[in-house]
Structure 1
Amino acid sequence: MSAAGDRLQDTARQTALALPDVSHSRPFAPQLDVYKVAGKVFLIVTDDPDEQIITVKCEPEHARAQVQRHTSITPGRYLDKRHWITLGPGPGITKRLITEAVEGSYDLVVERLPRRDRPR
């Protein structure tokens, strides 16, 4: 079953906040919820009822595959279009896909942190 926009955003927020050492703020604009680990962004949730999307970090090869596989996944809206993807509501966008995208983004960021900065 596909996730509607509000469920997409809620699932992404809940997934992010369940991960270790995650912080949440709105440093860029009032309508952008930004989730970070060790000061590094891994999720942006657009808090706009007319544009219910999330943006996550992704390996470039995986990003290209996701964009080709799903019409409602596009290159990252706000960040590097090679390393980020944006998910909107639509066919194939399930709770599981959203959860995996958020957790995968978090893992990518954590893997690139110096050991001393990684969540314990």
Structure 2
Amino acid sequence: MPDRDPPAGALTGQALQHLARSAAAGLPGVTRGRPFVDKLDVHKVAGKVFLIVTDDPDERIITVKSEPEQARTLRHSYPSIVAGRYLNKDHWISVGAGRGITAEFVEDCVTGSYDLVLDTVPHRRRPRGANP
């Protein structure tokens, strides 16, 4: 999903990625690295992936975890949301810039993904300041 000239007021792919990174950085216990390839900026909580930012100028997307039913609904509602790249297609979505993709939407996707992943982490391993 390359960056094209977005409609007035719409996010660009770069802005989408910047917002996703900023949202992730504000969450407790987040680490990031590039364990797979240089073009994948991977964000984790308690050692589990919750956000991937694809650093490819021709494909400015983020990939986040989502409940399967919500993922299906989002894919049908937004043309710039597709089944998750690199991961389970039922539980992950890839989001590109497009109609309806706002700053609030991106932040909600990142925090929602973080919460879903954190729900799988035993309480004793959760970072300080994370939801119980």
TM-score interval for Structure 1 and Structure 2 normalised by the shorter chain:
over 0.9
Overall identity of the aligned pairs, in % = 57
Is 1:3 aligned to residue 19 of structure 2? no
What is the rounded CA distance, in whole Å, between the counterparts of 1:31 and 1:48 in structure 2? 6
What is the rounded CA distance, in whole Å, between the counterparts of 1:96 and 1:2 in structure 2? 12
Amino acid at match of 2:100: G
Amino acid at match of 2:38: P
Q: Name the Cα RMSD after superposition.
A: 0.7
Q: 1:78 aligns with which of 83, 86, 90?
A: 86
What is the rounded CA distance, in whole Å, between the counterparts of 1:115 and 1:59 in structure 2? 21
Number of residue equivalences: 120
User: Are the aligned partners of 1:5 and 1:53 in contact in 2 as well (CA < 8 Å)?
Assistant: yes
Partner of 1:55 in structure 2?
A: 63
Partner of 1:33 in structure 2?
A: 41
Cα deviation, 1:47-79, whole Å, max 9, x if unaligned, reads 111110000000001100100100000010110
Cα deviation, 1:8-47, whole Å, max 9, x if unaligned, reads 0000000001100000000000000000000000000001
Is 1:87 aligned to residue 62 of structure 2? no
3-state secondary structure, aligned to 1:101: helix
Partner of 1:44 in structure 2?
A: 52
Structure 2 runs not aligned, ≥5 long: 1-8
Partner of 1:110 in structure 2?
A: 118
* Runs of 4+ more than 6 Å apart: none
TM-score by length of 2: 0.89
Could you say which structure has the larger radius of gyration? 2
What is the rounded CA distance, in whole Å, between the counterparts of 1:78 and 1:15 in structure 2? 21
Is 1:20 aligned to residue 28 of structure 2? yes
User: Are the aligned partners of 1:2 and 1:95 in contact in 2 as well (CA < 8 Å)?
Assistant: no
